[in-house]
Structure 1
Amino acid sequence: MAPLSRRFFASFAVVAMLAATAGTAAADPDPKTILAPSGKLRAGLYPGTPTSYLAGKDGAAPRGVGYELGKAMAEKLGVPYEPVVFAKNAEVLEAVKTGAVDVAFTNASVARAKVMDFAPAYLDIELGYLVRPGSPVTSLDNVDAAGVKVGVTTGSSSEAALSRDLKAAEVVRAETVAIAAEMLTAGKLDAFATNKATLFEMSEKVPGSKVLDGRWGMERHAVAIPKGRDAGLPFVRAFTAEVKQNGLVAGAVERAGLRGAQVSEMK
């Protein structure tokens, strides 16, 4: 082979090797740059529920499944953790949609999947009702009756479902879980609907209240990330499988005092 030809093929081989290397890099992006583009992981949380965030008392560290999973995810990525606590879940969801936060831990509903991407579920939670003392609602069978006021939080998946499914009862919106508890106490609501983890937490703030037996649905909580960052989904899926298998989800559930929930089955 002539020297010129050898140089041509050598150059061609180098170009091909660089192209292959570039292709591999493009196919395998660094999850850190995709999922935490600001250099820190901003986790959207909201207070008053053990599924998300419970402030620590007397200097104790915060609790909550979402809070703990966000911290573990930041550690796995190797970036600082920045929990961002909003007043209500609707604000968390909006922050995910706009990219104001990098991750959230919430019910993976069909409607939400249109505006954010989800990993497989890590937690299954029954949906139920909390009733005030003296409420006309005594079981799931007599919730949907004329004159019954059923509370939901504004922008929640419970609002969407019950506004459609309840035909006779009045659906009353409350901005936050804390406000809903006050409305129950004042007799402005006969029942409040959401996941049972939140209901049991609320019951401690509404004397004489009761979480009804049975369920009207299920929530499947999962890690959510903003649309456009789907290249980071393999990392999020692997993280979800790991924290279910290594006991972190179960431990966070126990530390938060979360009731009415179980770790999702491995898939």
Structure 2
Amino acid sequence: MGIVLSASALAQTASEIAPTGSLRAVINLGNPILARKDAQGAPVGVSVDLAQALAAQLKLPLTLIPVESAGKSVELVTQEKADVGFFAIDPVRGQGIAFTSAYVQIEGSYLVRQDSPLKSNDEVDRSAHRVVVGKGSAYDLFLTRELKQAQLVRAPTSPEVVSFFMAGTYDVAAGVKQQLEFDARSTPGVRLLPGRFMVIDQAMGLPKTRSTAAHQLLSQFVSDMKASGFVAAALKRHNIEGAVVAP
């Protein structure tokens, strides 16, 4: 399964993926489906497991770079301060990042106050409505393109969306369905609108400036991790609900 490389070819490609000699993987703690902190404060999750598996395959030491937002992940990889990251596939981010195929799919949902007149997702895009999103998140990028009338208001990060929403006179909060469900359990007087407004394809990516061989190896790695059951097992091990292995 996958690309079979000689030891010398693997070493060469590894050096093209990670030119510093250590695989620098940026981990976005702002997406709890992919990563979070354990009791000791260390990053754990599906993305961490994949980073560890890739470093092992490349026979390189691993350096994890935890950040709190997707925007920071994009910045570090685009500026080549990290070698790989874990992102929602988006054409804006694709200007500086070469993506693999998706490894998981995640749902995006809307949250409103209990007394809101809004009942469905298609009622959100109205000129009177202000929608809170995490700055630079996949939802920010998607809704920037898709909402024609509602006004977007950007919270500093995705995990802060609900607290930001509750602190102001806003109409809707948008984000990862599981994050919103989690926040709703500890926030009185809110509810999620039924269904989803988008499905997010989560992929790995590396700087577009890296070689074709580097991109091909990372793409094959993701395909192998899906086909082998590694991704499904990681989702189960970390008790992740609502995300599925991408087709």
TM-score, normalisation: structure 2 = 0.86
- How much has 1:135 moved relative to structure 2? 3.1
CA distance in 2, matches of 1:44, 1:149: 31
Structure 2 unaligned blocks of 5 or more:
1-5
Task: Compute the displacement of 1:27 (Å).
Answer: 8.1
Q: Distance in 2 between matches of 1:33 and 1:49?
A: 29
Equivalent residue runs for 1:14-29 within 5 Å:
none
CA distance in 1 between counterparts of 2:138 and 2:166 reads 23
Distance 1:70 1:157 in 2: 21
Distance 1:87 1:123 in 2: 20
Partner residue in 2 for 1:70: 51
* Partner SS for 1:119: strand
Cα–Cα, structure 1 residues 108 and 178, in superposed 2: closer, same or farther, change >3 Å?
closer
Q: Within the alignment, does 1:133 sit opposite 2:117 as a pair?
A: no
- Unpaired runs of 5+ residues, structure 1, are 1-23
**Alignment-derived partner of residue 256 in structure 1:** 238
Could you say which residue in structure 2 is the equivalent of 1:101?
Answer: 82
- CA distance in 2 between partners of 1:172 and 1:77 (Å): 42
Paired residues in the alignment total 241
Deviation at 1:225, TM superposition (A): 0.4
- RMSD over equivalenced CA pairs, Å: 2.5
Amino acid in structure 1 at the alignment position of 2:198: G
- In structure 2, relative to structure 1, the CA distance for the partners of 1:237 and 1:80 (3 Å cut) is same
Cα deviations by residue, 1:58-95 (Å, 9 ceiling, x for unpaired): x3864322222112111111111111012321111011
Give the AA of the match of 1:81: L
Deviation of the 1:187 alpha carbon:
4.7
Residue in 2 aligned with 1:176?
157
3-state SS, counterpart of residue 52 of structure 2:
helix
From 177, 180, 183, give the equivalent of 1:199.
180
Aligned mates of 1:204, 1:84 — CA distance in 2: 30
TM-score normalized by the length of structure 1:
0.80
**Bigger strand fraction:** 2
Give every structure 1 segment of 4 or more consecutive aligned residues whose post-TM-superposition deviation is greater than 4 Å: 24-29
1:54 matched to 2:36? The reply is yes
Determine the structure 2 residue equivalent to 1:246. Answer: 228
98, 103, 111: which one aligns with 1:117:
98
Moved more, 66-75 or 134-143: 134-143
* In structure 1, C-alpha distance between the alignment counterparts of 2:49 and 2:85, rounded to whole Å: 12
2 CA distance for matches of 1:156 and 1:216?
15
Q: Distance in 2 between matches of 1:68 and 1:202?
A: 25
- In structure 2, the CA distance between the partners of 1:129 and 1:179, relative to structure 1 (3 Å rule), is same
Structure 2 residue aligned with 1:223: 204
Shift in Å, 1:28: 7.4
Structure 1 stretch 62-71 or stretch 106-115: which is displaced more?
Answer: 62-71
Identity fraction in percent: 33
Gap change, CA 1:61 and 1:28, over 3 Å in 2: closer
1:122 alignment partner, SS class:
strand
Letter in 1 for 2:236: E
Report SS of the residue matched to 2:60.
coil
- The one-letter code sitting in structure 1 at the alignment partner of 2:156 is E
Give yes or no for the alignment of 1:167 onto 2:128: no
Change (3 A) 1:25 1:260: closer
